[in-house]
Chains A and B, each alone.
Chain A
Amino acid sequence: MTGKTNPIGDEVLHAYVDGMLSDEERAHVDQAIARDPALAARVNDYFALNTLLRERYDRVLGEPVPKRLRPAALQRRRSTANWPWFAGLAAALLIGIGIGAEGGMRLGYERTPSVAGSNETGALLADASRTFARRAAIAHVVYMPTVERPSQLGASHEQDFVRWLSAKLGTDIHPPILLRGGYELMGGRLLHDADGEMAMFMYRDAQGRRVTLSISHRKASADTTAFALYRDGPVNVFYWVDGDFGYAISSGIDRPALLALSHDVHEQLRSRPSAAKQPSPG
């Protein structure tokens, strides 16, 4: 490497911060930053600004949508004929799958009757775990990780990254490792709401398929361990409840593949409960 340097333009610097550069361009900026502390400080500030923006405004994502922005209200204002209120949910197919106490998966299909257009929609909405599944489905589509995998932590450092991520998020919930299914942990995010804390972990495979695992620390403890499928459009969600924790794994991948992944997650969490729950001291 010679001392030959092209000055880095402002726009290139911003593209660097936003991850819009090719590997080669990025390496070039990396070198310039290493040589120039002032440049490094500026880049740091730009990164910090993005983080600050998300810290400040991401909480809006978790706020309940005010009535006037909901379909029913908009419909009234627009006085159009027929707004399919939560049609996606109403059309959702819910399949309950029983899990034996020994932890093996017995597939007993129990189809709930179609709820489209029926009065059961309200009752379903009230069901906390299905609400959780719906949130998980939406979260899969909507949220981006707030803490992302540092590039120096390659796939061989999965265990390190798991610990690092949990510490970074400030939670004692540890995500399982899904490398066996080809999914690498990419990052995570922590949400707080009335139901308590919900940690989300995002995974991606080599083909760019994404899987989101949501772990909710529920206030009300329930020892029922039902394994269920919730479907919302292209997103499938397998979810279950185990004591204080609710789990939901969401993805656009097909159901058998998702079921296999869910199996993997379930097994890991069962065999190493400390992976998900750190016993609180005292």
Chain B
Amino acid sequence: MNQRDELMEHIPRLRRYARALIHNRELADDLVQDTLERALGRLHQFEAGTDLRAWLFTVMHNVFASQTRRAASRAHYVEADEQQLGQAEFAVPGGQLRSLEMRDLDYALQRLPAEQREVVLLVGLEEMSYADVALTLGVPIGTVMSRLSRGRERLRNLMAGAQPVEKLKVVR
């Protein structure tokens, strides 16, 4: 199997990650498309025998980061000001439909700073080791762990309908 075929086999996973990262289906696939195009253009830079998945997610991270910077004013990439979040927005009364919980997950994820969202998803969804996440994002492993710890705790609070601001102090 050559590298391009191998690359194609990662598309479903890239799409899954992008969908969770951006939520909007079209924009998520845009991200995948940009990633694939860039990756194909730079396939010669990929060292055979190293981890293609980590490399692809690195390419995606770079594309995403530059898009986030460029389109800082666009709603889909904007980080929400957590002060604006009312408790009622996230309160999920018991016995609600499962789909509501799922929609809340989309919403709550978008409330995380992008750098925390990336780590929470690479670990939770992509099941990468912390070392691989560090490699993918180009940050020290300690940074990965602190982003994960803050991001996941915040996600938990958002899902639980708690006031995020108050509890975040504990995590620090």
Contact = CB atoms under 8 A, between A and B. Distances in A.
Contact of A68 (B29, B120, B121): B29
Is the interface on chain B under 10, 10 to 19, 20 to 34, or 35 or more residues?
35 or more
Interface stretch (A8-16, A175-183, A220-228): A8-16
B123 to A, nearest CB: 6
Contact of B29 (A42, A69, A78, A80): A69
B165 to A, nearest CB: 17
B146 interface: yes
B5 A233 contact: yes
Contacts of A78: 37, 40-41
Nearest to B13: A142
B152 A57 contact: no
Given A14-B145, A78-B40, A84 B129 contact: no
Contacts of A55: 102
B124 A53 contact: yes
Interface string B126-141: 0101100000000000
B33 interface: yes
A142 B15 CA distance: 13
A52 B155 CA distance: 11
Interface in A196-242: 232-234
Contacts of A194: none
Chain A interface mostly: helix
B9 A141 contact: yes
Nearest to A232: B1
A60 B145 contact: no
A49 B160 CA distance: 11
Given A69-B11, A86-B5, A142-B13, 19 more contacts: A14-B145, A14-B148, A14-B149, A14-B152, A18-B123, A18-B124, A45-B156, A49-B155, A49-B156, A50-B124, A50-B125, A55-B102, A56-B20, A57-B17, A66-B29, A69-B15, A78-B41, A83-B4, A144-B127
Interface of B: 1-2, 4-6, 8-13, 15-17, 19-20, 29, 32-33, 36-37, 40-41, 101-102, 105-106, 120-121, 123-125, 127, 129-130, 145-146, 148-149, 152-153, 155-156, 159-160, 171
25 contacts: A11-B145, A11-B146, A11-B149, A13-B149, A15-B145, A49-B124, A49-B152, A50-B124, A52-B159, A56-B106, A57-B16, A58-B16, A60-B12, A61-B13, A61-B15, A63-B12, A65-B11, A65-B15, A66-B29, A69-B33, A71-B8, A142-B10, A142-B12, A142-B13, A234-B1
